[in-house]
Amino acid sequence: MTVETRETHGFQAEVQKLLHLMVHSLYSNREIFLRELISNASDAADRLRFEAISAPELLEPDPELKVRIEFDTEARTVSIEDNGIGMSREEAIRQLGTIARSGTGDFLSKMTGEQRRDANLIGQFGVGFYSAFIVADRVEVLTRRAGAPDSEGVRWESDGQGEFSIEGVDRPQRGTRVTLHLREDAAEFADESRLRMLIRKYSDHIAFPVLMKGKGGEGEAQEESANTARALWTRPRTEVSEDEYREFYKHIGHDFQDPLVWSHNRVEGKHEYISLLYIPAHAPWDMWNRSGSRHLKLYVKRVFIMDDAEQFLPLYLRFVRGVVDSSDLSLNVSRELLQQDAVVETMRGAITRRVLDTLDKLAKEEPEKYATFWKEFGRVLKEGPAEDPGNRQRIAALLRFSSTASDNPVPDRSLADYIAARDTTADDPLASQKVIWYLTADSFNAARSSPHLEVFRKSGIEVLLLTDNIDEWLVSHLHEFDGWEFRDVKRGDLPASKPAEEGEDKKPAATEHSALIERMKKQLDAQVSEVRATTRLTESPACLVLGEYELGAQMRKLMQATGQAVPETKPILEINPAHPLLQRLEEQQDDTHFADLAQLIFDQASLAEGGQLEDPGAFVQRLNRILLG
């Protein structure tokens, strides 16, 4: 049968730039090419084994899945061949000529020429095939998809300079063979001992045999496996070294950094399964894409089922990498069955708790590593209390915040730390309550300088400073922790910081300055719902207070960003009658000057909250009049 003619295509523009950067920036990391290509071969074998569940004829006539490494020292070539799923002509063009990832532009913007960092990014963005051009000046790919006739084989070839050619060929074998024509300075890789060492270092855990012949492949040398070819997660923990765990993570996670921590667990009894779960050291490029890949591989009785087993972990743990291998799920399991299977729900709950327990142990035993985790994944974990009510307290224990107890803006205060530091025996209504006081703001500095903190500083009460844009949403789902209620210092009434003496008027400011309060309320009626004397302020003239059930600034911004309607509300203005500005205002008889100064006090309170003035020009003119008057 006639094969298709040879065609030449240009690489996607991003691929050309990527290849140039990889070739010129990553010489010190060039041995990574072998791991990436063997991993691709292993994935191809996994995919064929899965498709063969419903179409067993795909495995014929070569049912033993394997990866084969060949080399020719004189010709300076290395070939990596698998008998896995293979590619059609269209798949070869799409998968080898483009980077089919939405994060390509971001990836390229991060490539800097710093060898170690750029090598990490290759794995992070899943572009490992192109690492072949680090050591090769020409790459040839021969492939045929399983189940396709011999005549539908494909040859893909490129020198990495901007174009690739593709043509149809007769290929009796299914699967893919990648041949690297090595650069002169990469001749070291066409060596048996060097290749065997790299296979043991990077790919010993591959679940398929990686076969090699003896010296130079001469004569009838016997093929033998260069790796153990036993799935690492099936081995007892005592038989797996830390280096093996790390290398397996790099294989399944396509990452070049070590993981922060991992958990290997075998469950026996009513349900039997194995989980090997990793927490990465850095956030992937698509962390904020909630519909992106989940990077948890599912096996059933050692048979690969899917790469993206989203049913076994909630969305707020989408950064977890690893493997789940179950003995209780049917081999013909589908996504639809997984979503409805009671066994899956049981496993999901147990695996979720396993991840949270691993993080809790990391926080207690290795706080520096946990600080790294929180920096990378803390904002994602904050989605948990809303998504996973059953584990709300477990998640809350893992949260970290900034607080008034430290000048360090790095969030390192746990809720348990906060509670342990509080003295509820003090004779102060603010301190004696089992309340976790918090304040939301746009930044740490803005939070630290908020007038709402004045009475808390005076009473020596710690306040958590919440500066992420989802923090208000977070605490609205937490409600309480260990019997302590969350309270916003900006919201509702606060009790006086010290109890009133017997017979003392509990609200002297309100009664003594009622005329000022009424006059300000009339002047600012369009902007505030109420004017009242403060129990919050000791130094500032005024602050804005939310009603008990009103939306805060963070929630309003979140709703606006998602196109939701935000209800119109007016804040409460609390004034400090003891402040010189309020005393001056109270003495002001001129209505125009009173209006200017009252409005200025309101505008100052708005700015202190991080708000925006409706008419900055009018504010400047008003301020100038007061300064000149």
Domain membership flag for residue 488: yes
Of 333, 39, 327, 34, nearest to 207 (Cα)? 39
Domain membership flag for residue 552: no
Residue 53's pLDDT is 85
Domain membership flag for residue 559: no
Residue 1's pLDDT is 41
Q: How confident is the model at residue 72 (pLDDT cuts 50, 70, 90)?
A: very high
| Number of domains the chain is built from | 4
Domain membership flag for residue 354: yes
Residue 27's pLDDT is 47
Domain membership flag for residue 379: no
The residue among 172, 198, 224 that closes a domain is: 224
The residue among 170, 193, 224 that closes a domain is: 224
Residues 366 and 424 in one domain: no
Please count the other Cβ atoms lying within 10 Å of the Cβ belonging to residue 120: 18
Residue 117's pLDDT is 47
Please count the other Cβ atoms lying within 10 Å of the Cβ belonging to residue 615: 10
Residues 350 and 239 in one domain: yes
**Nearest-10 Cα torsion for 518, 522, 527, 528:** 20
Residues 490 and 466 in one domain: yes
Give the residue, 95 or 165, on which the prediction is more confident.
Answer: 165
Residue 75's pLDDT is 96
Residue 139 contacts residue 133 (beta carbons within 8 Å): yes
What domain range includes position 272? 233-371
Give the residue, 402 or 114, on which the prediction is more confident.
Answer: 402
Residues 176 and 212 in one domain: yes
Give me the DSSP letters along 122-181.
Answer: HHHHT-GGGGHHHHEEEEEEEEE-TTS-GGGEEEEEE-SSSEEEEEEE--SS-EEEEEEE
């049981």: which residue's tokens? 346
Q: How confident is the model at residue 253 (pLDDT cuts 50, 70, 90)?
A: confident
For residue 313, give the DSSP letter: S
Residues 465 and 590 in one domain: no
Residues 219 and 303 in one domain: no
Q: What CATH number corresponds to the domain at position 516?
A: 1.20.120.790
Residues 186 and 241 in one domain: no
Token pair belonging to 42 = 């292993």
For residue 441, give Cα distances in angstroms to 110, 539, 543, 587. Answer: 30, 20, 14, 34
Domain membership flag for residue 387: no
> What's the first-to-final CA gap in the chain, in angstroms?
97
Residues 156 and 292 in one domain: no
Helix/strand/coil for 274:
strand
Q: What CATH number corresponds to the domain at position 424?
A: 3.40.50.11260
The residue among 371, 388, 414 that closes a domain is: 371
Residues 520 and 473 in one domain: no
Q: What CATH number corresponds to the domain at position 330?
A: 3.30.230.80
Residue 584 pLDDT more than 60?
yes
Q: What CATH number corresponds to the domain at position 20?
A: 3.30.565.10
Residue 207's pLDDT is 82
Query: What are the pLDDT digits (tens) for 303-342?
Result: 777 778 888 999 999 999 999 999 888 655 555 556 667 8
Q: How confident is the model at residue 15 (pLDDT cuts 50, 70, 90)?
A: low
Judge residue 334's burial from the number of C-beta atoms within 10 Å of its C-beta, 0-12 exposed, 13-18 middle, 19 or more buried: exposed
Residues 28 and 174 in one domain: yes
Give the residue, 29 or 477, on which the prediction is more confident.
Answer: 477
